[in-house]
Structure 1
Amino acid sequence: MKPVISILSNIGGRRAILGLGSVYIVLSVLWPFVRLPRPTPLEEELIVSILVGGAGITLFYVGYRLPQTDIRPEFFDTVASWCFRAVGVMVAILVFIGLVADLNDPAHNFLILPALAAIAGTGAGRHDARAKTRTFTLKQRNRELQETQAELEETVTRLEESEQRYRTLTENFPNGAVALLDDELRHTIVGGQGFESVDFGAADLQGERVQEVYSGEILETIESHYRATLAGEPTSFELTMQGRVFEFHTHPLTDDGDVYAILAMSQDITERKQHEEKLEQLVADLEESNERLEQFAYAASHDLQEPLRMVSTYLQLIERRYGEKLDEEGEELFEYALDGAERMRSMIDGLLQYSRIETMGGEFEPVDLDTVFDDVREDLRVQIEESGAEITSDRLPRVKGDADQLRQLVQNLLSNAIEYSGEEAPQVRVSAERNGDTWVVSVTDHGIGIDPDDQEQIFEVFEGLHGDGDYAGTGIGLAVCERIVERHDGEIWVDSEPDEGSTFSFTLPAVTDSAT
């Protein structure tokens, strides 16, 4: 049978059955005309045609309907094999009978009996093919069941390992409590060391649904966040319970994207909240104190200007009237007085600038630092010419800030670079480098430099760069720079070594596309 199946596999079992049926249908149509010269009655020939044609139609219908049956396509060859094997067997029987006995009409027998045998073989083949299909299906389902069983065993193993990990975590979780809840919000695992501040423990929650443990607003808060977590959204919230403040964090546990449980962690943060409230109050008190100090500094500086102006005026008047009568020592003392008054005036002006940075600052807008640099260099033109300074600049960016304050910032830094240049002619370079959402602007000089021990305090009020008397200064300029930069949410720092120059750098927010 295997050679027959191999041949039919090449042809196609269904095609072979359709072809055999077509042959019998053609023979049934042509048979009466082929037999007309014979003495056989026409009725008998018509009966033969009907039997053969009926067999052909049956075979053709079976072949046509095979794809609509429950037989798998790979077993169509089995049906055809049974069909052709039945035809072959019947032909062999008829040949044997014809050899040992005289048949009345061999043509009729060789035409009708193999056709009927083909129908019988096809029926047997269909039963055999169905049996093979069922066997194949059962084996396939058995493999699928075995794969499913293996997957289930693997899943059970993973769940047991996961449960053990979570149980270990919950039992040893410090300073808090951990719970594992299923999709019905039932506590399946509860543990931790954070139940000391409440009147229930892990055993009271184990196996209970949240609706059976909590009530009122507490239940409403917890349930809403837990259900959001079941929908796949991690949550964090605070809850006051039994006079204590607890912080909750929930995370969905998923398997192939489906949430099957919730991991909830809670900690008693009552003491932390109390510390935060105290800290917030201290910050508020500090801000209020700073505001009052600013107001005081502004008022004091403003009020000191008038008596200082009177002192300067009287000193100038004394100089005009009695200057010729002063000896050398008197003139020196008088110069000290004038210089002191002038320094006091500068300090008061600087203190006024410092106190006004927050309260009198302008709106932030895109500012072209190239324009700021050009304006400042023009304002310092006299100082630059007298010192022979060489001031250069890279192409500077546009930043977001207060244009007037940025001009003051650049002017203070350039003025200091010129002032503390040493004996050589000042050489100052301004550059900028992009760093994410900010620009780092640097002012580099080759002056006398700053000792590393003094670099942190130079930005404090009245802490001058060099307090040895060789250089003039109020000690407020760099403090003003720092405050301006801080108002722009930036930082300012210095890199310097004595006798090797200094680089003052500060950050400013870059102008975004929407702000241009």
Structure 2
Amino acid sequence: MKKLSEKIITSSFSLALIFFGGVGVASYQSFQRFQKDKQWLIHTYKVLATLDEVDDGLLSVESGRRGYILTGKADYLKTYTADKQKVFQSLKALRFLIKDNPNQQRRLDVLEPLTAQRFASMEYSINLYKQNKLDLATQIALTNNQKTILEQLLVIRQDMKAEENSLLQRRILLTDYSVNRIILVISIGYCLSLILFIVVYWLLQKQIRINKTLSEEVLRLDQQAAKAKLANILESITDAFIALDRNWCYTYVNQKAGELLNRYPEDLIGKNFWEELSEVVGDKFHHAYYQAVEEQRMTRLEQYYSSWECWFESRIYPSEEGISVFFQDITRRKLAEKSLEQANEELEIKVQQRTAELQKLNEELRNSNQQLEQFAYVASHDLQEPLRAVTGYTQLLEQEYQERLDQSAQEYITEIVEGAKRMQQLIQDLLAYSRVGTRGKEFVLTDCNSVLTQALRNLQIAIAQSNAIITHDPLPTVMADKTQLLQLFQNLIGNALKFRREEPPQIHIGVFRGTGEVGRENTSVSSPTSYTLLENEFLFWIKDNGIGIKPQYLERIFEIFRRLHTRREFPGTGIGLAICKRIVERHSGHIWAESELGVGTTFYFTLRVG
């Protein structure tokens, strides 16, 4: 019976598919025919429209010619020329459209020369009018002579339209026939298919009832097999597992759970959970189980059970049949956590002690810096006061006894004054050097472009005197002490202006943001320095074409009071680069130089993005 039903259903489906396929093929063929007829219909409309364009064009050309001859206005002549061009374009389009129709091609072969002849006559008429505008009699005679051509043109166009209209009627009939045939084929096909589907549906319902009975039996067997497989899995896991029904009675207990509960699993099946564990009724464990059932969500619980003298971690999964519980002994983990917590508390105490010590050291360092700053101020003030006295009295001596002093005495006085001034400048630079780390301002977002502009404004006299050419890349915004950054740029650019050759200085300020690779490999300037430029660093460089520095002095130029030239060659105290180094280091950066004697020097320094 089952095999017979399957054969009937299969045959019915096959027949339905065949009908559907036949309907589809017939519909497709009818649709293709319809599309073809539709294209021919559109084609005929295009030919008729083009013929109308030729008629309208010829009338417009004639109107333009007559308007020009009657009024002499150039606008009519422009209209005449444009419309004549449109007629030629329409004839060309018409030639393309009727290439499938030999009769129409022959008519067009006659129409085109007549049209050209007509246009030639019009051209002659216009040229004649341009030569003698008053010769209207000749214009009228020319117009009368063209009647034969006009009649021929009219007859040919009417013949062409008549044939196209005849084709149009036939093609409309073919299109209507195609549409009706598509509707008929689809209607018949779908009616037959609907009957077949009703039969198939009835057979399927019958087969479904048979299959449902068989499926229920198979499902029962599968559930038994699944339970057996699940039991094997639950016995192989490391967690203890119990299953309870809605009445809190055991339905399954694996061996691991029996070991932890110190009971045989088969002795617990069917017994009430709370009667077997009466000592936990009313505590946190008891409430967690009821809460999981009420809220129907997984609940995780860690609790110490004095009955077993150990910690258990339970994961409670509620369902419609009851609850499933996985639990395991976590006593060792809890003991380890307790030991770790004690160690953390001890570490926290030590950290607090160390923090207090560091705070005390910071306070002592702060007091020391304040004392050092006060000392530097007092020392600079006390040192400069005698120097001012020496300078003042020496200059007073020069003024009062100038006539009594010989040339050597005058030179001695000049040396004393200049030495005192150098000493004053040295004390001021030394004070500035000491204040880099103690008088610095808080770092704020600083636009390096505005800082560079201010530095160049401060150096404008030296720039003008040396005819220096200074260029720079677009500079970034960084977190910095704006005042110290200004001093850094001013010192480095000032050195480039000071240590120049005979030719005008050329100075360029560049910048590059790091990518984490070797810094010099990522810049437009080469360097043997194996410094790694970080992603959050900017590399600045100030390059000049000055006198250059010997390689053996490149590390020593940043030392305080380090000079490579005499004061007569280049003035200064030798502290400028040392101040630059302290400023860059206060900004967590690095500074170095590269140079070639007689070619120029490049100073590099890095600043953090934030």
Looking at secondary structure, tell me which structure has more helix per residue. 2
TM-score by length of 2: 0.42
TM-score by length of 1: 0.49
